[in-house]
Amino acid sequence: MKQKKDIKKNSIVSLRNIDKDFQLGEHAVHVLKNISLEIETGEMIAIFGKSGSGKSTLMNLIGCLDIPTKGEYYFNDTHVNTLSENELASLRSIDISFIFQSFHLLPGKTVYQNVMLPLEYQRGFTGDKHEYVRNAFEKAQLEEEQWHKKPNLLSGGQRQRVAIARALVAKPKLLLADEPTGNLDTKTGVNVLEELRMLNTEYGTTVVIVTHDEYIAEMVDRVITLKDGAIQT
């Protein structure tokens, strides 16, 4: 049984009556419908839904990769709707990290260089980049002998750990994981989820997992279910 932990009662994510439409020719497709959601600082949640339910669109909105058609989004008390493109990019580079199902690792760079990238893009970073990278690898539990290899020489589970290290290197407030177990066997998938739980528990990172794997429900604090673009209650 998973352990419940005390959650600080302040929202890092606050979605208020969010709609998201996409225009296909002359027709508008209503992907998200009146979504209201509070995610507390330090919480670990899963967003469930079948293909086409809107869960990836919701993750993109939470991660400031897209903006809502209607409604308001507050991230850590910042009104996201009012931010410029540069301000959104800054928010993503400093406070939000992503783990994508397809990893999105650059094949021409080593694993170490891939994990270093978020720090290279972060303006005004003054810390020891190599120390941050080493700490990220340790948190993701990737052996040092793998650090200077190209991604194609690693197993799927190892590449997933690289993606986790890259997401964590800048010490984000929010970590979004899109189907993090989708390309992994069940045992490796469980190990990745246990690592995310450890990072959430020990470092206080808020974690949102977008998934259709029902066994993940036993490893998170709360489950949000989407159906046809709306939250099921």
Domain boundaries, the chain: 11-109+173-231
pLDDT in tens, 131-177: 999 999 988 889 999 999 999 999 888 888 899 899 888 888 999 99
The order of strands in the sheet holding 70-75 is 27-40, 11-24, 70-75, 78-79
Convert 168-179 to b/e letters by CB count within 10 Å (16 or more is b).
Answer: bbbebbbbbbbb
Best CA proximity match to 213, nearest among 171, 233, 185, 232:
185
Question: How confident is the model at residue 67, as a pLDDT?
Answer: 92
Non-local (6+) Cβ contacts of 87 within 8 A are none
Biggest CA pair distance of the chain: 55
Distance CA 227, CA 211 (A): 13
CB atoms within 10 A of CB 11: 18
Let me know: does 140 contact 192? Beta carbons within 8 Å.
Answer: no
pLDDT in tens, 30-75: 999 999 999 999 999 999 998 889 999 999 999 999 999 999 999 9
Residue showing tokens 């980049």: 129
By CB atoms closer than 10 A (0-12, 13-18, 19+), residue 201 is middle
pLDDT, mean of residues 77-91 = 92
pTM of the model: 0.85
Best CA proximity match to 33, nearest among 18, 43, 55:
18
- 14 or 101, which is more confident: 14
Question: Which residues are bridge partners to 78 per DSSP?
Answer: 75
The CA-based angle 109-122-55, given to 5 degrees, is 80
Question: Which residues are bridge partners to 176 per DSSP?
Answer: 98, 208
The torsion angles phi and psi of 100, rounded to 5 degrees, stand at -95, 150
Question: How confident is the model at residue 7, as a pLDDT?
Answer: 41
Distance CA 107, CA 150 (A): 6
CATH number of 11-109+173-231: 3.40.50.300
